[in-house]
Amino acid sequence: MPADYTTTPVIEARSLTKYFGHVVALDRCDFEVYAGEILAIIGDNGAGKSTLIKALCGALQPDSGQIFLEGKPVHFRSPMDARNAGIETVYQNLAVSPALNITENLFLGREVLRPGFLGRVLRMIDRKTMRTQSEEFMKSLKFRIQDMNVSVESLSGGQRQGVAVARSAAFARKVIIMDEPTAALGVKESRMVLDLIREIRDRGLPVILISHNMPHVFELADRVHIQRLGRRLAIIDPKQYSMSDAVALMTGAKTLANAEQV
């Protein structure tokens, strides 16, 4: 289902500003992401990409500006706040617990407890339910793993990242933010994660993708947000622009001709 850009954005930010001392990391930056799209954010180092993302996922608080979740203003004081609001973040490579198995990783921090006394009083976890749910979920994402009981360290790098992505997808209700999800992966490995991201988008969950990898960005993204000098320079349609155009725009080598001016 293609994204409908006439609806209310799932996340919208207006005029976010953030100073670090005298340095302006975000300078009245706007942002929006719609249901059913993959929005890539590209930008040179220091353009404010990660500051923008941290503001959206609650890791830092903007000095001014406003964030709206489905049209309603929100204030995230911590990543936990954002997560409780349905925003999940996938980090580069810190996200999994290698000695724990796939099911345990998927449910880490959100374990399902046994019904009744065993769960309420003894806080016993419900292994069986968690295993069935994670098997079904992985199958629905077309993510092939034979045995949910193997420890994550025995998986390949791509599969590991896949587990991290799947975990976020399982619990995200509004949006998933992915920070360089393929940065540490080889070609074949990346492919698996890219397919997974597309699968998540097709289920209707918007994905915000931060990446330096232009081929990945141009392959996946429905729209590309170009960040430059703390502001949104433009939003481009990757089908109408070349990668070199995008790079020229984000480095300032080229100015906007007919990109969607913002």
Partner 1 sequence: MTTHTLEKSESSEAIPTRSSRLSLLLTPPFGPLLFLFIICVIFTVLPLLRGQEQRFLTVQNFALIFQQTAVVGVLAIGQTLIILTAGIDLSNGLVMALTSVITAGLAVHGFGPRGEALYVDPIVAMLIGLGVASLAGFINGLLVTRLKLPPFIVTLGTLNIAFALTRMYTTTTINGLPQPLLALGSAITVFGARVPLYALVMLVLFFVVWFILRETRIGRHIYAVGDNREAAALVGIPVNRVLLLVYTSAGFLYGIAALLLLARQENGDPQAGQTSNLESITAVVLGGTSLFGGRGHVMGTLIGALVVSVIRNGLTQQGANPIIQTFITGILVIAAVAVDQLSQRSR
Residues that bind partner 1 (CB under 8 A): 79-80, 83, 89, 91, 93-100, 104, 108-111, 113, 122-125, 153-159, 167, 184-189
CA distance 106 to 23: 39
Give me the least distance between CB of 44 and partner 1, in Å please. 23
* Residue (9 or 158) nearer to partner 1, CB: 158
Torsion of CA 18, 23, 27, 32, to 10 degrees: -50
* Residue (15 or 151) nearer to partner 1, CB: 151
* Residue (71 or 116) nearer to partner 1, CB: 116
* Residue (84 or 242) nearer to partner 1, CB: 84
Give me the least distance between CB of 17 and partner 1, in Å please. 27
Give me the least distance between CB of 104 and partner 1, in Å please. 6
* The Cα angle at residue 48 between residues 43 and 50, in degrees rounded to 5: 90
Give me the least distance between CB of 55 and partner 1, in Å please. 17
Pairing of strands 223-228, 38-43: parallel
CA distance 181 to 211: 8
* Residue (99 or 256) nearer to partner 1, CB: 99
Angle between helices 187-202 and 157-171 (to 10 degrees): 10
Angle between helices 127-140 and 157-171 (to 10 degrees): 100
CB atoms within 10 A of CB 13: 21
* Residue (100 or 148) nearer to partner 1, CB: 100
H/E segment holding residue 15:
strand 11-20
Give me the least distance between CB of 5 and partner 1, in Å please. 32
CA distance 119 to 113: 5
Give me the least distance between CB of 30 and partner 1, in Å please. 28
DSSP annotation of 96: -
